[in-house]
Structures are given as C-alpha cells and as structure tokens.
Structure 1
C-alpha cells in the first residue's frame, strides 16, 4: 500500500467528496491540523483509502472489492491491535464496508451505530437566552482547561495531539457558575470546513438548559468562522438527539464505528 506525503493529499479529495459520510477528523488530517497518515492503492487515481490520526482514529472508504488493499488493512489491524495493543477506532463509510470489516476481522470488533446530523440555520434558534443569576459564559482557554468538568488536558492531547494545538485551531464555550466551569461545549475535531461538537455538563447542573445555551453560542462561533457545525452521537442517545434537533440539526446520516473492547 502507498503512504502519501502531504503534497499528494489533494489527489484523494475527489473520492472523499463523493462519499456519503466522511468523519471530521479525516479533513483535519488532510489539512494537517492533526497528525496522521493517508494510505491509498494508487497515488494519482486512488480507489481505496485509509486515513488515520496518530491517536488511533481511522476511516476506510472507496471500493470494497480491492483484494490487495483489503489484505493490507487486515495486516494493519493485526499489527496495531493484536501485536502492539494500540488504540484502533475504525469509521466505516458504507454498509458494504460494514460487512467487509466484519468478514476481514472475523467479527473481532464491537460495532457502534452512530448518527451525524446536518445543521440547518434558523435565526430564531440562535436568539440569546438569559443565564440564571451567578452564571456567565466564557470562551475556553488554558485556565479553563486546568479546572474543567469533563474535558481535561488529556482529552485534548488525545484528539488534538496537544493542548496548544487545540488552543490554536479549536475553540469552545463554557458556562461558569460563580466563576467555576460547570458546562462546556468544545471542538472534538475542527478544520477549515467543519467543527464537530462535544459537550459535557457537571451532573448536579444538568436539566437547567445550560448545554443548550453553551451549544448555541458555540454554533454562533462556527457561523462567524465560516464553519459547518457537526453534531454526532450514538443512535440510542435520545437526550443528545433531542438537544441536536432543538438546536436545528436535521437529516441524520447513519454510520458505524468499530472498536476493540
């Protein structure tokens, strides 16, 4: 299999654009915002591609009938997971890839069904909501990262390679109560096209509408930056689905993620 250098990444964009669903991190790798690798079956006219981050997020796309590519994928999995015991989270781009992944890897991975929502802008959705007394909004900065509710520095090192990379290329909004962060909406991945949302609220502050307010401000930031916000969640996370719909996300695309438990 061929590993592309960054000057060759442009060759795979026609294939990427033609796919129904492509994870946000794929664009982050191709735009060199996070560190990763790109493998193809052919440099100039690739038909099968495998893209991953250094932290272990991968996506496979293109033709499923490419025997040599499929064999290489199986060997890659054996080396990374079974021999080196490294993280391996594989995003599938289609139902045909779902079946092939199961067959290639002998059903060794757990399948997780997910939704990716499309944001439909509606002016009334982004109307300002007042926070309760003693609450305020703040952009996530290094000080917030050291004392936040769910997204510790290790989280950003995992998704962004480093805290400094997140602070340079990502962004987020937090809700403070008496100057303490109790709800955060942040970029799990972001690039020049999309920003994928992750959100967490401290347990005792749930049910107060804080996540809705933080997410609205985050979406407004996306619009100001010219980015399409992305909301993704498990298909049985009904609370997340309701919040997504309330925020103006529609038309979920069903995709699968495979991982080793």
Structure 2
C-alpha cells in the first residue's frame, strides 16, 4: 500500500531525491504544487512525486510498493526514474505503452543569465502581435489553453495561478498565439513552459516571450529554470545563456482507457 505524503513527510524525502537536480522535485517537496506518495509515512524507503504530467521516482525500486507507484500515473505522464533499476521497472510494467525519449537539463546558475543580453533579445514583435502579461481575462481565454494545456493546469485554479504563478502571452486578433509561463514554482524560482501555435511559428515569438518572462523573473529575484524537451528548445535555451548539463531518459506513458 502507498500513502500520500503531507508536508511533514515530504521533508523526510529530501535525502532520497538530493541527487536529482530537478525543480519539479523542489516544487513538490517544498509544498507548492503536486503530490508525493510513499511506502511508509514514518520511514519511507521509496517515493513518487507527481506535478502535472511529470512523475519522478526515487528510493528502493525493489519493493512491492515501488511497482504500485509505477502504476500510479495520471492518464498522460512523462515519467523519470533515478536509476537504471527504476528504468527497468518502468519498462517492465509499461512495456506496451512506454516510449523512451531524451530530455535535456541545464545548469541552474543565475550568473549564466546576463540581464543586458536578455533585454537585447526582446525585439519588437511583428506587426499585429501584442505582448501581454497574463491576467484573469487571458488566463480564461480558450485560445491560451489550445496553445498549451500545461500553461496553468498545475495550479488549483486561474485565481491560484494569478496569485502564485506568472507568465506572458502574445495576442493577435484577440487570440493567444504564444505563451511563456511558470509551469511550476519553487522557493527560488519557476520552471518555464513555452509554446507557440503552429500557425504562428517561425516568427521569433517564443524567443521574445521567453526572454520577457526570464527578464521578469530576474527582476523579481527568481531563477527561471529551463528544461528542454527537444533540440529546438535546447537551441533556444543556449541563445539565452543557459549552459547545457546533460540529457536524461524520460518515458512518455499514456494509459489506455
């Protein structure tokens, strides 16, 4: 049996995850977003963190609770195991549905992000496009969620996002066509989510919007963490000054209904 961890139990999990440099983990263990599951509330030996579509495991993968946790997934999940043993368990349990791909981490060093350089990236938008801070109207705009379902979905509500999250959107003809938001939040910063509508790509919108969000975070003393899902995102991160650290295995798993 597995148990949902409260804030006190989450504090016990920090040593278990300390080798994993992931702001999703920070967000959950610091009590901002998501849930954590353990095998034992007093002395946990295995743990699962869920924030949005991200699921991360640590601890002993050989327990029966570990397999239960590996089955404890949202309908669509990006799953990360700490060790080869975890990866083997994930592949065994979800052998018919797990698709492995690479994500890319960057060093989390504020010194790599030069404010002047970031400001210089924020060039004027093409004619007809307008940059806006995400407010209640934009957060409720259906076009925002068509660009990406993950802009604010980790938060309890629009009001919760507006109170604790942050983001910017590019609007054209009253519709959101690009956005950059806080996918998650943690004590020292945010994890960036950026996406552009397919019909409006190739215009530099994602670069300008991301740079706007990065500058805003730096102004507030927050670190804008970047984790890339593909080579295009890697290239964009390097443009801002992020230094590549490593690639890592991730499993895309969609549960059958």
- Do structure 1's residue 94 and structure 2's residue 93 form an aligned pair? no
Q: 2:118 aligns with which of 115, 126, 129?
A: 126
Cα RMSD (Å) of the superposition? 3.0
TM-score by length of 1: 0.78
- Output aligned runs, 1:95-244, within 5 Å: 95-103=84-92, 105=93, 107-108=95-96, 109-118=98-107, 120-128=112-120, 129-131=122-124, 132-147=126-141, 149-151=143-145, 155=150, 158-177=153-172, 180-234=175-229, 237-244=230-237
Deviation at 1:156, TM superposition (A): 5.3
CA 1:215–1:106: 2 relative to 1, 3 Å: closer
Asked if the contact 1:40–1:50 (Cα under 8 Å) also holds between the matched residues in 2, the reply is no
Provide runs of 4+ in structure 1 moved above 6 Å: none
Distance 1:75 1:33 in 2: 25
Match of 2:246 in 1: 253
Q: Mark the CA change 1:201 to 1:86 in structure 2 (over 3 Å): closer, same or farther.
A: closer
SS of match in other structure, 2:117: helix
**CA deviation after TM superposition for structure 1 residue 172, in Å:** 0.4
Match of 2:33 in 1: 34
Kept after mapping to 1: 8 A contact 2:48/2:57: yes
Q: Please give the secondary structure, in 2, of the residue aligned with 1:20.
A: coil
Gaps of 5+ in 2: none
Which residue number in structure 2 is paired with residue 52 of structure 1? 50
Q: 1:149 touches 1:183 (CA, 8 Å); kept in 2?
A: no
State the number of aligned residues.
246
Q: State the shift of 1:118 in Å.
A: 2.9
Contact 1:39 1:51 in 2 (8 A): no
Change (3 A) 1:180 1:61: same
Q: Is this contact kept in 2: 1:117–1:250, CA < 8 A? A: yes
Instruction: Give structure 1 stretches of 5+ with no counterpart.
Output: none
Contact 2:152 2:182 survives alignment (8 Å): no
